[in-house]
Chain A
Amino acid sequence: MAIRWFYYAAPPTFYALAARLWPWLAMLAAALGVAGLWIGFALAPTDAQQGEGYRIIFVHVPASWMSMVIYLAMAFWSVLGLTFNTRLSGMMTRALAPTGAMFAFLSLWTGALWGKPMWGTWWVWDARLTSELILFFLYLGYMALTSAIDDVRRADRAGALIAIVGAINVPIIYFSVKWWNTLHQGASVSLTRSPSMAQLMLWGMLLMALSFWAYTLAIVCYRVRSLIIERERHTEWVQALPEVSGVKA
């Protein structure tokens, strides 16, 4: 069955879709988060090497994953935007950026708080940490650039270039622990071999990751509506929205 992509890519239809989706996604994020934290803090065993300190993993790994996934999503929307010149693409890229920046910061922050007791240092300039810091700066650069250019469509195109070029950094982050000698450990979860973690630890981490996924989708659906209203405020369909006109449809 063919999905009518361009139909949903039209701002009026996407606005309605996002408005319907975000409350469910937010509830899903909360439910998964409660389950993940319960498993992570009430059920998962103490780590043999790191004691209770390893429990930082339940935010560190999901936040790091999301910081990379969101950047790839921004690059994806940017390619669509430059190729098809759709109005929605730039708005989606912009709606994703603050959440991506937040997760990149949280990845660095929780990593520092994990590094201090385990490695004896908050920070080292090694490949994994440095490339994640570059990712954080790419998010900040994207947001600074797009907000500095007044013409929104031009700002979108300039931002799309940062998003696409910067996406090269994402595989560098991911494979950095293989390509270089680094203080950071290798992947705990991989598609090609069984995870090097206790089952409950793994489940807690995966549920937290799913929770962050649902949260990201929810906040992006929520935020893109503000951008759609702002940019299309002169149009009849925005003026006819009950939340704008005050008239119940």
Chain B
Amino acid sequence: MRWESWSQFWDMGGYGLYVWGSMGVTAVFILLEIWQARQAYLSALALARTEVQEPS
């Protein structure tokens, strides 16, 4: 390990804001995209189910 303490790790040699600002926003976007894809899948299934009841 290159870090002696957590505070040193978070500080990133003074570049903490930039490094964690990059990593954090990337993580948030990926999580949001996964959530959005899940919602889209559920609503597509719900839409398909409404077709089931209609007479063909």
Q: Which residues of A are in contact with B by a Cβ distance under 8 Å?
A: 41-46, 51-53, 55-56, 59-60, 63, 98-99, 102, 105-106, 109-110, 113-114, 116-117, 215, 219, 222-223, 225-227, 229-230, 233-234, 238-239, 241, 243-246
Q: Which 8 A-B pairs have the closest CB atoms?
A: A53-B15, A52-B13, A110-B22, A233-B48, A226-B44, A52-B12, A229-B44, A51-B13
Are A117 and B18 in contact, with the CB atoms below 8 A? yes
A55-B19, A117-B15 are contacts. A106–B51 as well, Cβ < 8 Å? no
Nearest-neighbour CB distance to chain A for B1, whole angstroms, equals 5
Are B34 and A219 in contact, with the CB atoms below 8 A? yes
Q: Which residues of B are in contact with A by a Cβ distance under 8 Å?
A: 1-3, 9, 12-15, 17-19, 21-23, 25-26, 29-30, 33-34, 36-37, 40-41, 43-45, 47-49, 51-52
Complex Cα gap A219–B41 (Å)? 11
Return the contact of B18 from the options A43, A56, A223 (Cβ within 8 A): A56
Chain A residues touching B, majority SS? helix
Chain B residues with CB under 8 A of A215? 30
Are A59 and B23 in contact, with the CB atoms below 8 A? yes
Return the contact of A230 from the options B3, B37, B44 (Cβ within 8 A): B44
Nearest-neighbour CB distance to chain A for B54, whole angstroms, equals 9
Return the contact of A51 from the options B15, B17, B25 (Cβ within 8 A): B15
Are B40 and A223 in contact, with the CB atoms below 8 A? yes
Are B19 and A238 in contact, with the CB atoms below 8 A? no
Which among A51, A113, A222 has the greatest number of chain B C-beta atoms within 10 A? Answer: A113
Are A105 and B29 in contact, with the CB atoms below 8 A? yes
A51-B14, A56-B22 are contacts. A244–B48 as well, Cβ < 8 Å? yes
Complex Cα gap A244–B37 (Å)? 17
Nearest-neighbour CB distance to chain A for B3, whole angstroms, equals 8
Nearest-neighbour CB distance to chain A for B23, whole angstroms, equals 6
Nearest-neighbour CB distance to chain B for A240, whole angstroms, equals 10
Return the contact of B26 from the options A41, A43, A110, A241 (Cβ within 8 A): A110
Are B22 and A42 in contact, with the CB atoms below 8 A? no
Chain A residues with CB under 8 A of B2? 42-46
Given contacts A55-B15, A215-B30, 11 further A-B contacts (CB under 8 A): A44-B2, A55-B19, A56-B19, A56-B22, A113-B17, A114-B18, A219-B37, A226-B44, A229-B45, A229-B47, A233-B48
Nearest-neighbour CB distance to chain A for B10, whole angstroms, equals 11
Complex Cα gap A239–B25 (Å)? 39
Chain A residues with CB under 8 A of B21? 113
A63-B26, A109-B25, A244-B49 are contacts. A53–B41 as well, Cβ < 8 Å? no
Complex Cα gap A238–B52 (Å)? 10
Complex: chain B residue closest to A239, CB-CB = B52
Nearest-neighbour CB distance to chain B for A106, whole angstroms, equals 5
Return the contact of B19 from the options A52, A105, A234, A243 (Cβ within 8 A): A52
